[in-house]
Structure 1
Amino acid sequence: QLPAGKPKIIARPYTSASYDIPPTDTLGSDGNNAFSNDNILRHISSKEDIMKELALLYVRKKLSLSAVGAIAKLIVALGHDIPIDPRTILQTTNTPIRNKSFHHFSLKNGLLQKLKKGMIGSGNLTIKCQINIDGTPVFKTNSVDLWPILCRVVNSLDSSPFVISIFAGKGKPPSLEEYLRPFLTEMIQLQSEGVEFESKCYSVEIISFVCDAPARQFLKVITGHGGYGGCERCSQTGVFDPVYHCMTFPELVDISLRTDDTFRYQ
């Protein structure tokens, strides 16, 4: 319980599988609620309640992390004992992958945000996704790379990409299975069950993966384009050019193209 005589913080009801917080229709002394126009309000009476409401405000009001931290400092100034680090308040956790950092956000939540913006074409009940995976250095002065998994809904009115998962560490993710598993598990589930929004069920379809050559090599676990047998389209071995120090694939006719079977069992 909060110490006696200290102001109570009022916010809208919140339900969670981890918290059983009963609503109340009691207003503050001024009869207003700064965070909601709802008539059903409740008094916050514990440190956990304050943290949960701050997390809720962060999502609903699209606050920045610095804003959450500033609000937390004001609450602490009033005499309440809560963390001032927004990461602690939001309970942001990273999953280590062999001493690296990895975080899976949510594919479904990102798709729901795009559905709220509207879809191209009336009666369109298919969410068409482009998936992009690529690595990029964070700074020029160190070796930390970011490997985000991005999604772009091509038939949404807002087709800007959003992050599904992200890896941070030196070089590529050391385990392809651990890197892709959360995304693949969620995608398989969404393709099986669909996404429900405003009493409609939308199917989810991947139309393409957009990756450069090094990323394709990493994802397919194949020889790079600079190695022998590195062509993704045909089965020719290739010829190394000692003058230009590069691999060439000079055969242009009567080439045996790769098939799904030859690729899988090569």
Structure 2
Amino acid sequence: MEQCPLSSKDDIVKELALLYARKKLSLTGLGEVAKLIKRLGHDIPTYPTTILKTTNTPIRSRNFHHFSLKKSLLGKLKKGMINKESTIIKIQVNIDGTQIFKTNSIDLWPILGRVINSLDALPFVISVFVGKGKPPNLEEYLRPFLEELMALQSEGLECMGITYSIEMSSFVCDAPARAFLKVITAHTGYFGCERCNQKGVYDTVYHCTTFPEVTDVSLRTNTSFRAQLNKQHHKGFSPLLELKIDMISCFPLDYMHLVLLGVFKRLLTIWTG
């Protein structure tokens, strides 16, 4: 059987990954399409994790637990915390990691939710991972949350005879967590800016990457992000691409890294010499 050249093989794998993102294929569906193409004579990988360039390290069940987004929302509705005059529930999600103890490297990575149009602004836990470092498998970490959210968005949430529609407002994360979730270059990289396509400049004085151009630059868009037009910005394909969200505007930039650890830190250095 004639094998396709390496360049053609890479092109097919890239197109498969883009197809997964654009058409919101399941991992099983992606694998089946890859197997079909391989049967037609093209020597390409058939494992979805290989095609998407994501890790296949499993998350042990004892290190991960999904609590349920639906139950938390129903609890707020039954307590009257969500205005019944509106049938839209707007959800904000926070994902970040924190070290539990100073004496070891065990981290806690919760997925937290908050209803922004609720009388009760307290967050609730959707899922949680506990282990050394960040979750080793992003797909497995996000999958229960994504499947539940997409089902709620498709079918709605019924409570006391009223059907509510679910809207994803934003993902509130710090810069390292956003890079992890979106599978992109870190904010310290040359193509790490999440708002424009310019290549950064390394500042040898402050030892950081800066993006000095503020006028003559092309901005990132949801379309360009999903098509991965700026290849140096992407490190793979995020499971979040399955959601009907804007991959740029739905990820607000965080105050801590931009101001407290950025501008203000530099100002303090200048002021204090």
Q: How well do the aligned residues superpose, as a CA RMSD in angstroms?
A: 1.6
Equivalent of residue 158 in structure 1, options 120, 131, 155: 120
Match of 1:55 in 2: none
Match of 1:31 in 2: none
SS where residue 167 of structure 2 aligns? strand
Separation in 2, partners of 1:252, 1:155: 34
Match of 1:227 in 2: 189
Match of 1:35 in 2: none
- Shifted more, 251-260 versus 208-217: the winner is 251-260
Paired residues for 1:154-233 under 5 Å: 154-233=116-195
- Structure 1 residue 137 displacement after superposition: 0.7
Q: Provide closer, same or farther for how the CA distance between residues 122 and 180 of structure 1 changes in structure 2, counting only shifts above 3 A.
A: closer
Contact 1:98/1:174 (8 A) holds in 2: no
SS where residue 148 of structure 1 aligns? strand
Q: Provide closer, same or farther for how the CA distance between residues 232 and 100 of structure 1 changes in structure 2, counting only shifts above 3 A.
A: farther
The yes-or-no answer on 1:147 pairing with 2:109 is: yes
Separation in 2, partners of 1:100, 1:175: 15
Contact 1:147/1:167 (8 A) holds in 2: yes
SS where residue 148 of structure 2 aligns? helix
Residues 170-224 of structure 1, C-alpha deviation per residue, up to 9 Å, x if partnerless? 1110111000000000001111111111111111111111111011000000011
- Structure 1 residue 128 displacement after superposition: 1.1
Residue segments in structure 1 that go unaligned for 5+ positions in a row: 1-95
Q: Provide closer, same or farther for how the CA distance between residues 134 and 164 of structure 1 changes in structure 2, counting only shifts above 3 A.
A: same
- Structure 1 residue 118 displacement after superposition: 1.4
> What amino acid sits opposite 2:136 in the alignment?
P
The yes-or-no answer on 1:261 pairing with 2:223 is: yes
TM-score (norm 2): 0.60
Which one has more relative contact order, counting CA pairs under 8 Å at least 6 apart? 2
Separation in 1, partners of 2:80, 2:73: 11
Separation in 1, partners of 2:72, 2:123: 9
- Structure 1 residue 117 displacement after superposition: 2.1
* Sequence identity (%): 68
> What amino acid sits opposite 2:104 in the alignment?
N
Match of 2:35 in 1: none
Residue segments in structure 2 that go unaligned for 5+ positions in a row: 1-57, 232-273
Structure 1 or 2: more helix by fraction: 2
Match of 1:54 in 2: none
Paired residues for 1:53-64 under 5 Å: none
Contact 2:100/2:108 (8 A) holds in 1: yes
